[in-house]
């Protein structure tokens, strides 16, 4: 251990104290030994360090910081260097605010388009997500602080996220849900990893020995720190055994005592605690070095310009009928849509950033050079219908040559802690599109949202620019693309299906009670649509340009593929060339093709460049469940270069030598997986894939409620008071939603309705402890007066213990002998 001498000077109590937070965002300190607190701050796309009382939900305003485009947006750039540059800017701002650990990037897979936090994640493809995350981590950590890749792992739904058990087979786990983390940790060298809230195959992720020890530590040789998601600790001692150093936020010393008791009773060795303390100290000492120098404020305008550059390169042109874009300066333009007046530029929840500057579309129109004739709101962003607004918008549209229509999803629809209920944009926006089309067919839509939506209205617009959530400088970036100052070069990092029913997880998302079953196996996103021959609206990797590109001269050898790209149009522009690989053998089920490399190339009109995409250790591998390791199947492989998943321009065949592993599957019992049509797999076939019986997915309503049951389950609790509380919560949510207080209504669902009872102790910073929670559960389970007495008695004991503990800390900090 690096800090063995220092650790020997610590008491057992001091060592245990370092394993949980001092408050909501800071770690504990030991002043007598010169061990300072670390500050951890949210920051997937901007720093969220709160100036006032701390909370995890984005309620209190944070110190101003640059709001860069979200991960779902920058993923469309397919530009590793650009994403690394974003990381550098984030790191600089973190240092200026004295943040040791920046909690990002998030790299969970987009299993379903409805997952509420998709705007914070890169892609449905693990290779793309991993490469971009590695770049961002390198950039953040280039300033000496730590990134924190999250949420490890298979955290793919928000509903019941703190208690849901994810049931997934080992091969799918490795190939789809862990590969991005593997790349981020091995290539990005992330110093910190955040464990997810959920369970994985029966064990909470931060207690899961297979995930945390066998894979993360032993296979990937990870030597950094694991921190829980806020309130994500279940059994603190089990978490410590798995190598989970830091529990956040504070529990006012309660879980420290659990660690001490476990060591004193011989349940765990003190050496395990020492190992965790050593890693935590290394994180502290390496990240605080940068603060020894005088920190300076960052250049607000320079960072804003960088945010604009990233937004520009991430815009995706999805439709350009009759080359309606770019617009000509002499065309009369009407701007319609609430999102033009008040931009939808970031997500909601723990990632919300207080921007340093915020560009506005209406204010930026003058410098765009467009002939602007007026603005109408057209619709209410939260879905309230108004014929008057539509009529006024249509009157304006009649006078215009082109209508610029700003549409999308609102802030309460895409939010942490909640999944979306449908893939549609609000009905009042769709009604507006149809009404506008009747008076002016020249409509260019600008779509702002962080996730996939259905587009049954797409035939009513001639142009469609998707800006995703483009950050504080997005408005100007979009206008520059509209007038041709920027040639759109973004390509979709996720597939757009025609309708929700087409999605592979449609029948098994989200898990509503105990568990969620990943019956589709590795067939998520384009892997499913492509293999099962399901038509989609826009394929993975798709994006138009104002110019055209031609691919030629492909050459393939064992090291990689080389080819030429020529800009055959009239505009300078960038093209994202994508390498896909498909195995011709049918002995092991696989997707038809999988992304294994990509590059972005800038070309002037008429220019040709030679491009090489090398193969790596992930190009031909698959995870063999019989040998329990990565193998290569000896076979012929299709090597494909495409402009998207479904637009393959060049193709060659390569024979690859295998590792000689035994075949892992019986074709006869896994027919759905061998066909790729895995959206309605039977439980028997899923069990054959898993190798064991699927656990019961519904609540047992006959047993008393416990720590990991949720407030939602009070609907069937034995206690009358609990059932009353459940009704009050649901009625409050319904009432707040109807009167327009939708953010508050969402907060009730996220922080109360789906919260496990243990969250009362883990998330309240010492206001309630686990013995008090025992009393609450007595009340819930029908023993009201006994439970109330227990709560009051334990509260009195807790307050007395807290006073004694604080006195002990004060004495220790004064250097008194204990």
Tens digit of each residue's pLDDT (9 = 90 or more) over 229-277: 999 999 999 999 999 999 999 988 889 999 999 999 999 999 999 999 9
Confidence of residue 818 (pLDDT cuts 50, 70, 90): very low
Decide: 581 and 618 in contact? Cβ < 8 Å. no
| 199 Cβ neighbours under 8 A, 6+ residues apart | 163, 164, 165, 166, 205, 208, 515
Edge-first strand listing for the sheet containing 165-167: 203-204, 199-200, 165-167, 515-517
Tell me: pLDDT of 48 over 80.
yes
Give the mean model confidence (pLDDT) for residues 458-469.
Answer: 98
The first and second tokens of residue 396, run together, are: 């304006």
Tell me: pLDDT of 57 over 60.
no
What does pLDDT average to over the chain? 94
Which residues of the chain does CATH 3.20.20.300 include?
4-292
Which residues pair with residue 613 across a beta bridge? 561
Residue 629 parent element (H or E)? strand 629-632
Q: How far apart are CA 474 and CA 53, in angstroms?
A: 30
Q: Global pTM?
A: 0.96
Which residues of the chain does CATH 2.60.40.10 include?
536-666
Residue 59, pLDDT score? 55
Give the mean model confidence (pLDDT) for residues 117-123.
Answer: 97
Number of other residues whose CB lies within 10 A of the CB of residue 428: 20
**b/e burial code for range 553-590 (CB count within 10 A of at least 16 → b):** ebebeeebbbbebbbebeeebbbbbbbbbbbeeeebbb
Q: How far apart are CA 47 and CA 92, in angstroms?
A: 10
Residue 817, pLDDT score? 39
Give one word for 221, left, alpha or beta, with left for phi > 0 and alpha for psi -120 to 50: left
Dihedral of alpha carbons 530, 536, 542, 545, sign:
positive
Residue 7, pLDDT score? 97
Q: Report pLDDT digits (tens) over 409-423.
A: 998 889 888 999 999
Give one word for 46, left, alpha or beta, with left for phi > 0 and alpha for psi -120 to 50: left
Tell me: pLDDT of 228 over 50.
yes
**487 alpha-carbon distance from chain centroid:** 28
Confidence of residue 55 (pLDDT cuts 50, 70, 90): low
Q: Pick the residue with more confidence: 813 or 439?
A: 439
Number of other residues whose CB lies within 10 A of the CB of residue 413: 26
611 by DSSP, 3-state: which?
strand
Give the mean model confidence (pLDDT) for residues 681-693.
Answer: 97
CATH ID of 536-666, from 1.25.40.10, 3.30.70.2740, 3.40.630.30, 2.60.40.10: 2.60.40.10
Residue 213, pLDDT score? 97
Tell me: pLDDT of 816 over 50.
no
Residue 643, pLDDT score? 98
Give the mean model confidence (pLDDT) for residues 427-455.
Answer: 98
Regarding the domain delimited by 305-494, which CATH topology (the fold level of the hierarchy) does it fall under? Rossmann fold (3.40.50)
| 681 Cβ neighbours under 8 A, 6+ residues apart | 519, 520, 521, 672, 673, 689
Number of other residues whose CB lies within 10 A of the CB of residue 217: 17
Residue 811, pLDDT score? 72
Residue 749, pLDDT score? 86
Decide: 227 and 248 in contact? Cβ < 8 Å. yes
Confidence of residue 53 (pLDDT cuts 50, 70, 90): low
Residues marked as catalytic:
229
Tokens 């041709």, located at residue: 484
Tokens 């494909």, located at residue: 640
Percent residues over pLDDT 70 in the chain: 98
Residue 675, pLDDT score? 96
Q: Report pLDDT digits (tens) over 345-384.
A: 998 878 899 999 999 999 999 888 899 999 999 999 999 9
Q: Report pLDDT digits (tens) over 709-746.
A: 999 999 999 999 999 999 999 999 999 988 888 888 88
Which residues of the chain does CATH 3.40.50.1700 include?
305-494
Decide: 566 and 610 in contact? Cβ < 8 Å. no
Q: How far apart are CA 687 and CA 682, in angstroms?
A: 9
Number of other residues whose CB lies within 10 A of the CB of residue 634: 15
Tell me: pLDDT of 597 over 90.
yes
Q: Is 5 exposed, middle or buried (0-12, 13-18, 19+ CB in 10 A)?
A: exposed
Q: Report pLDDT digits (tens) over 142-161.
A: 999 999 999 999 999 999 99
Tell me: pLDDT of 131 over 60.
yes
Q: Report pLDDT digits (tens) over 505-563.
A: 999 999 999 999 999 999 999 999 999 999 999 999 999 999 999 999 999 999 999 99
Homologous superfamily of 4-292: Glycoside hydrolase, family 3, N-terminal domain (3.20.20.300)
Tokens 């960072």, located at residue: 303
Q: How far apart are CA 805 and CA 814, in angstroms?
A: 14
């Amino acid at each position: 251990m690096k800090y063995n001498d220092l650790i020997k000077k610590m008491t057992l109590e001091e060592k245990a104290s370092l394993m949980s937070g001092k408050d909501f965002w800071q770690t504990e300190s030991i002043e007598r030994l010169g061990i300072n607190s670390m500050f951890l701050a949210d920051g997937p796309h901007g720093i969220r360090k709160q100036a006032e009382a701390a909370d995890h939900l984005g309620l209190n305003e944070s110190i101003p910081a640059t709001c860069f485009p979200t991960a779902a947006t920058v993923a469309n750039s397919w530009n590793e260097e650009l994403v690394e540059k974003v990381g550098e800017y984030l790191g600089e701002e973190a240092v200026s605010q004295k943040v040791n650990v920046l909690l990002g990037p998030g790299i969970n897979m987009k299993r379903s388009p409805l997952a509420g936090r998709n705007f914070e994640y890169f892609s449905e493809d693990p290779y793309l997500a991993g490469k971009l995350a590695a770049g961002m981590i390198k950039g953040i950590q280039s300033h000496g602080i730590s990134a924190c890749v999250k949420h490890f792992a298979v955290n793919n739904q928000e509903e019941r996220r703190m208690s849901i058990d994810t049931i997934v087979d080992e091969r799918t786990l490795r190939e789809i849900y862990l590969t991005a983390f593997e790349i981020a940790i091995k290539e990005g060298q992330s110093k910190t990893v955040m464990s997810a809230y959920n369970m994985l195959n029966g064990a909470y992720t931060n207690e899961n020995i297979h995930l945390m020890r066998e894979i993360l530590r032993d296979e990937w040789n990870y030597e950094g720190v694991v921190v829980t998601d806020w309130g994500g600790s279940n059994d603190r001692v089990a978490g410590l055994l798995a190598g989970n150093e830091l529990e956040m936020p504070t529990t006012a010393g309660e879980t420290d005592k659990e660690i001490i008791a476990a060591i004193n009773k011989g349940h765990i060795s003190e050496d395990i605690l020492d190992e965790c303390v050593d890693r935590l100290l290394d994180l502290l000492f390496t990240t605080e070095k940068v603060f020894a120098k005088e920190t300076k404020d960052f250049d607000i305008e320079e960072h804003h310009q960088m945010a604009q550059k990233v937004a520009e390169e991430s815009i995706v042109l999805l439709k350009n009928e009759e080359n309606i874009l770019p617009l000509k300066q002499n065309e009369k333009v009407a701007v319609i849509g609430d999102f033009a007046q008040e931009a939808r530029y970031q997500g909601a929840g723990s990632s919300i950033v207080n921007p340093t500057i915020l560009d506005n579309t209406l204010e930026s129109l003058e410098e765009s050079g467009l002939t602007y004739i007026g603005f109408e709101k057209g619709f209410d962003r939260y879905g309230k219908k108004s014929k008057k607004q539509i009529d006024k918008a249509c009157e304006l549209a009649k006078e215009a040559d082109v209508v610029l229509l700003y549409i999308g999803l609102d802030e309460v629809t895409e939010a942490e802690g909640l999944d979306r209920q449908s893939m549609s944009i609000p009905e009042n926006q769709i009604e507006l599109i149809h009404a506008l089309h009747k008076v002016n067919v020249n409509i260019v839509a600008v779509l702002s949202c962080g996730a996939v939506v259905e587009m049954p209205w797409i035939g009513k617009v001639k142009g469609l620019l998707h800006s995703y959530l483009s950050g504080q400088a997005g408005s100007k970036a979009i206008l520059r693309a509209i007038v041709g100052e920027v040639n759109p070069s973004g390509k979709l990092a996720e597939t757009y299906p025609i309708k929700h029913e087409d999605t592979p997880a449609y029948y098994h998302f989200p898990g509503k009670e105990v568990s969620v079953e990943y019956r589709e196996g590795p067939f998520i996103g384009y892997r499913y649509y492509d293999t099962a021959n399901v038509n989609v609206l826009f394929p993975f990797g798709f994006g138009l340009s104002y110019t055209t590109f031609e691919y030629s001269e492909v050459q393939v050898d064992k090291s990689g593929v080389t080819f030429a790209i020529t800009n055959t149009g009239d505009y300078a522009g960038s093209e994202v060339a994508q390498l896909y690989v498909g195995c011709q053998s049918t002995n092991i089920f696989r997707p038809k093709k999988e992304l294994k490399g990509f590059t972005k190339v800038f070309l002037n009109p008429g220019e040709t460049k030679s491009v090489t995409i090398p193969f790596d250790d992930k190009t031909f591998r698959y995870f063999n469940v019989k040998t329990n390791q990565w193998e290569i199947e000896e076979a012929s492989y299709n090597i494909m270069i495409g402009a998207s998943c479904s637009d393959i321009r060049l193709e060659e065949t390569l024979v690859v030598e295998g590792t000689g592993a035994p075949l892992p599957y019986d074709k006869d019992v896994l027919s759905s997986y061998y066909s790729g049509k895995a959206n309605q797999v039977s439980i028997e076939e899923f069990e054959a894939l898993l190798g064991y019986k699927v656990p019961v997915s519904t609540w047992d309503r006959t047993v008393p409620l416990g720590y990991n049951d949720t407030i939602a389950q009070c609907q069937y609790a034995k206690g009358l008071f609990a059932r009353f509380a459940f009704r009050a919560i649901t009625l409050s949510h319904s009432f707040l939603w109807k009167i327009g207080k939708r953010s508050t209504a969402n907060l009730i669902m996220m922080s109360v309705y789906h919260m496990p009872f243990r969250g009362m102790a883990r998330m309240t910073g010492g206001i309630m402890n686990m013995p008090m929670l025992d009393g609450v559960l007595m009340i819930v389970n029908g023993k009201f007066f006994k439970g109330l007495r227990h709560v009051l008695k334990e509260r009195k004991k807790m307050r007395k213990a807290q006073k004694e503990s604080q006195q002990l800390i004060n004495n220790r900090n004064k250097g008194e002998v204990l």
